[in-house]
Amino acid sequence: MAVRPLSVSAAVGLAKRTVEDIPQIQVIGEVSGFRGPNARSGHCYFSVKDESAAMDVIVWRGVYQGSGVQLRDGLEVTMSGSFQVYERSGRLSFVARRLSLAGEGLLRQRVAELARRLEAEGLMDPARKRPVPAFCERVCVVTSLSGAVVDDVKRTLGRRNPLVRIEVVGCSVQGPEAPATIVEGLRVAAAAAPDAVLLVRGGGSFEDLMAFNDESVARAVAACPVPVVTGIGHEPDHSIADAVADRRCSTPTAAAESVAPDTASLTAALDRWGQRLASSFSHRMEGEPRALDALAGRMGQALGARLSLEAARVEALAARPVLSGPEAVVDARRATVELMADDLAGAMEGLLRTRGASLDAQGSRLGRAASAVTAPSLSALESLSGRLGRAAPSVTRRGEEAVRRMAASLEALSPLKVIARGYAIVRGPDGTVASSVASLSPGDRVDVAVSDGTFTATVAACAPGAPVPTTR
């Protein structure tokens, strides 16, 4: 029976379902063709490879940001994730859910984190670093005694400047015990109080140089009371100890050269400076007489020109009228003052006449304006006074009638009027008016007010009942 062919979509879907059934796996490989983070999405795309295979990898933005890894080609990484098939292209990719560095990459990440922390503390600040003397007399070399570095340093210093004294402190420069021995070597070297300490070693792999990326070594270099010059590895190598040291050189030989100026070069330079100084001095001595003659000639010319200028100024001052004829100047000034006085007097008279006429005109206008303003006001006041005189009797009569009505009401409500009609007012033992038998008890002494006086009585009995009707 013939098998019906699948469409492309069905085939890719089958592959997608099959791939999705593969559980999450962990993969290690080398980054190749890194692209990312994408400017729009922030995702990263690259391949990982080994000796015989490669596969495409996708790292989503959140995963990449959370990993703390700065990916680049050549790094070895460890990833956890799963495969997926992109249906539109049928492309198989590995989607990483976790990402971390492996091998040398992990070491470099740790070194970078330590470097950032020490830099934040200021250990790499150029302002903290001490100057290395230009002419060192004693240097102390801290390095391994088993390598060729010691011989290289001694040979370089002996060739360039045999006067420099060398002391060597041995330490381990590789392996787990190396950081502690380097710290101790720096302490011993500083105790000898040399002009500078050379911390050096030969080349090696990144792992071989890890002792110089140790935090304790970096802090010992920074705390050393003697300037420290490093020459660790080769030119491309750069350790944390190099960044903290007072001077970093690319190799041990370069470190030795930096603290020992070449005596042959210094001698040649001194000879050149001496020749230049002698030539300059001879030239200066030869030119001094001519310069003095030229200076004397210029001074004579300048003095003659200055005297001529001053003589002309004096003659011009003597010819001025104030010196040649002072009486004429005074007479001219007096005539000018007299003319100004005449002009001022005439101007004052004219001004006074003008101001007097102006004041008269203003007084007339003011009188007319006052009459025009006050006449209506006086008429209104007279009218109001007449109206007030006519209205006063009516208002007074209405007030008197109201007072009479109020007096009659008060008189009708007066207790004395009630008493006069035959009623009495009884006050209890406490002096208050007894308005109810409930406020009295048999035996109470009461004060009774009648129309013509007051008397005292004793309550014999209290009989509550209906109130006595009031007769008006």
In this prediction, residue 55 carries a pLDDT of: 92
Q: To the nearest 10°, the Cα dihedral for 143, 147, 153, 154? A: 110
Residue where one domain finishes, among candidates 261, 282, 306: 261
**Domain count for the chain:** 3
**Can you tell me the distance from the alpha carbon of 440 to that of 434, in angstroms, rounded to the nearest whole number?**
7
What is the H or E stretch that residue 191 is in? helix 178-191
Same domain, 82 and 210: no
Same domain, 142 and 43: no
Cis peptide upstream of residue 442 (ω within 30 degrees of 0): no
- Whether 317 shows a pLDDT value over 80: the answer reads no
The CATH number of whichever domain residue 59 belongs to comes to 2.40.50.140
In this prediction, residue 468 carries a pLDDT of: 54
Q: Which domain holds residue 459?
A: 415-472
Same domain, 122 and 256: yes
Same domain, 238 and 155: yes
Using pLDDT thresholds of 50, 70 and 90, give the confidence band for residue 120.
Answer: very high
Question: Is position 147 within any domain?
Answer: yes
- Measured in whole angstroms, the distance separating CA 145 from the mean position of its chain's CA atoms is 54
Question: Is position 27 within any domain?
Answer: yes
In this prediction, residue 104 carries a pLDDT of: 59
Same domain, 86 and 113: no
Question: Is position 381 within any domain?
Answer: no
Of residues 159, 161, 139, the one with CA closest to residue 261: 161
| Token representation of residue 78 | 């460890």
Residue where one domain finishes, among candidates 86, 102, 118: 102
Same domain, 177 and 218: yes
Query: What is the chain's mean pLDDT, rounded?
Result: 83
User: Where is pLDDT greater, at 37 or 333?
Assistant: 37
Same domain, 427 and 450: yes
Are the C-beta atoms of 142 and 185 separated by less than 8 Å? Answer: yes
Of residues 256, 229, 234, the one with CA closest to residue 245: 229
- Whether 472 shows a pLDDT value over 50: the answer reads no
Question: Is position 229 within any domain?
Answer: yes
Same domain, 209 and 164: yes
Same domain, 161 and 38: no
The HSE-up count of residue 125 (CA atoms within 13 Å, CB side) is 7
Question: Is position 296 within any domain?
Answer: no
In this prediction, residue 471 carries a pLDDT of: 47
Q: What is the pTM of this model?
A: 0.43
Using pLDDT thresholds of 50, 70 and 90, give the confidence band for residue 470.
Answer: low
Question: Is position 150 within any domain?
Answer: yes
pLDDT per residue as tens digits for the range 78-101: 999 999 998 888 889 999 999 888
Question: Is position 341 within any domain?
Answer: no
Same domain, 169 and 72: no
Work out the percent of the chain whose per-residue pLDDT is above 90: 28
Reported in sequence order, the residue ranges of 148-278 that DSSP labels E, i.e. its strands, are: 165-170, 196-201, 228-232, 247-249
Same domain, 82 and 114: no
Using pLDDT thresholds of 50, 70 and 90, give the confidence band for residue 444.
Answer: confident
Residue where one domain finishes, among candidates 102, 125, 153: 102
**Can you tell me the distance from the alpha carbon of 136 to that of 259, in angstroms, rounded to the nearest whole number?**
6
Same domain, 155 and 246: yes
